[in-house]
Chain A
Amino acid sequence: EADIYQTPRYLVIGTGKKITLECSQTMGHDKMYWYQQDPGMELHLIHYSYGVNSTEKGDLSSESTVSRIRTEHFPLTLESARPSHTSQYLCASSVGVSSGNTIYFGEGSWLTVV
């Protein structure tokens, strides 16, 4: 079992609200990721981080932002949620090249914007 935790698991919010999805890992992994996945569809990388104070945008353009102030914590924030943001958001982490970059996932945060 991977030690990576996401909160909340489920969230329903109104349009225009600001939300933060929390993600923490206790494995000491330097690399962390956020993926967006619609039901039954592929994963899209929206943000990643090499380590503290490092953040990069992924392949899929996203209006969300991330921060990495501590190794174990990688929160994702939407300043003004819209219905198009409704999706599952998966946080993940990995050790790096030496382990084949095996990625450990959290259980996901289901966001519904009404």
Chain B
Amino acid sequence: SQQGEEDPQALSIQEGENATMNCSYKTSINNLQWYRQNSGRGLVHLILIRSNEREKHSGRLRVTLDTSKKSSSLLITASRAADTASYFCATDTGGFKTIFGAGTRLFVKA
């Protein structure tokens, strides 16, 4: 199974609400990243959190990392319709390959 697994698979919220997505992984990591993918497009890097960090902010994004539980969460505050996309976590174990999860599909209703 994949190193990173997102939960939930899909999330539907109203504009203005907060959206929280979770990612669990299996092995030790150097860092964890979150990416966004609009329908039919490539992925865009959102934020990176290193294994020695616990929380990181970027605009309306807040990422937490709990290495003891091997999990991370992505919080999008005050969501907008334009936030509708798929969100992927990706783990870097120090090897060459960055491993992507299956993604959470977020729908923000106007």
Contacts and interface: CB of A to CB of B under 8 A. Distances in A.
A90 interface: yes
A80 interface: no
Interface stretch (B15-23, B75-83, B101-109): B101-109
Contacts of B92: 100-101
Given A42-B2, A102-B45, A108-B40, A58 B100 contact: no
A48 B2 contact: no
B59 interface: no
Given A40-B105, A100-B30, A48 B97 contact: yes
Nearest to B30: A100
Sort chain B's interface into a size bin: 20 to 34
Given A100-B31, A102-B33, A105-B44, A42 B103 contact: yes
A107 interface: yes
B41 interface: yes
B88 interface: yes
B33 A42 contact: no
Interface string A11-55: 000000000000000000001000100001111010010100000
Interface of A: 2, 31, 35, 40-43, 45, 48, 50, 56, 58-59, 88, 90, 92, 94, 97, 100-108, 110
Interface of B: 2, 30-31, 33, 35, 40-45, 48, 50, 86, 88, 90, 92, 94, 96-98, 100-103, 105
